[in-house]
């Protein structure tokens, strides 16, 4: 069974303080992953106060690129440093994690269509490793470099690797309705369009709305849930909100 799991940047960092890891939250997530001991797990993590802070500082987003090499490097370096911390913690917990940096393997063409070769990730999985990807900057034809979000990586990995289960671990227990209750299932974006707002913290990748849109693009259901439900998801149980990809 192949599982694709994203740890949101707001889960593993303090999004209100630039380039600060939330040690307790990250350790709890790492412990849950280590205890689950899944055979085929691919991890993706968001940028949180690392990547989003630097991307906002240098004016780079999903649609706005930059040819400024130092600025592009600052964004990538922030994500690389966060990735280093996560990989090191996972290895310390006995998880055979290895990094995969999207800047080195992915590219967008002049229409912003993404090419993400999966051979490195697929081979790592086959050899018993846990690939750890992250939101990043990638070269884009005629635009310099633009952001690739963790949510986009999740959808590409889930489709390309024929994932059996997909989960996005956020700081909230699921997608809320107008009354503040978790919506158990989303079958189309129109169902939640009116209730999904922007993130209160700096986020250049669209927040919860883009998470839902990305998961609806899958051919199978996925789940959005909070950190307290991570062990349940890793154990194969239902958690949070089910986003019914393929329903639209």
Instruction: List residues forming the annotated binding site.
Output: 6-10, 47-48, 52, 150, 207, 211
Which DSSP state fits 226? -
Phi, psi of 235 (to 5 degrees): -85, 0
The count of C-alpha atoms lying within 13 angstroms of the C-alpha of 20, restricted to the half-sphere facing its C-beta, is 7
CA distance linking residue 54 with residue 116, whole number of Å: 23
CA distance linking residue 83 with residue 45, whole number of Å: 8
Residue 97's nearest CA partner among 56, 135, 134, 142 is 134
How many angstroms separate the first and last alpha carbons of the chain? 26
Tokens 């599982």 sit on residue: 3
8 Å CB contact between 108 and 140: yes
Known binding site for substrate: residues?
A: 47, 52, 150
Count Cβ atoms within 10 A of the Cβ of residue 28 and give its class: 0-12 exposed, 13-18 middle, 19 or more buried: middle
Give the β-pairing of 107-108 and 136-140: parallel
Known binding site for ATP: residues?
A: 6-10, 48, 207, 211
Q: Which residues 6+ apart lie within 8 Å of 168 measured at CB?
A: 5, 6, 8, 151, 154, 211, 215, 222, 223, 224, 225
């Amino acid at each position: 069974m192949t599982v694709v799991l994203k740890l949101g940047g707001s889960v593993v960092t303090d999004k209100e303080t630039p380039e600060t890891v939330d040690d307790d939250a990250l350790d709890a997530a790492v412990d849950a992953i280590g205890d689950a001991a899944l055979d085929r797990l691919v991890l993706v993590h968001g940028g949180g106060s690392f990547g989003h802070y630097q991307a906002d500082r240098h004016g780079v987003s999903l649609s706005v690129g930059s040819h400024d090499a130092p600025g592009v490097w600052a964004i990538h370096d922030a994500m690389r440093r966060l990735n280093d911390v996560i990989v090191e913690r996972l290895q310390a917990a006995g998880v055979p994690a290895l990094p995969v940096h999207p800047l080195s393997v992915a590219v967008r063409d002049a229409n912003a269509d993404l090419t993400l070769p999966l051979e490195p990730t697929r081979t790592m999985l086959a050899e018993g490793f846990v690939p750890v990807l992250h939101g990043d900057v990638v070269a884009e034809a005629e635009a310099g470099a633009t952001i690739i979000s963790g949510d986009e990586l999740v959808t590409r990995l889930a489709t390309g690797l024929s994932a059996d289960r997909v989960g996005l671990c956020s700081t909230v227990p699921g997608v809320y309705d107008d009354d503040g209750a978790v919506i158990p299932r989303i079958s189309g974006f129109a169902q939640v369009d009116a209730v999904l707002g922007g993130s209160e913290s700096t986020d250049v990748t669209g927040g919860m709305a883009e998470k839902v849109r990305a998961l609806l693009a899958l051919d199978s259901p996925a789940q959005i849930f909070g950190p307290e439900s991570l062990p349940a998801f890793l154990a194969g149980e239902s958690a949070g909100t089910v986003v019914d990809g393929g329903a639209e």
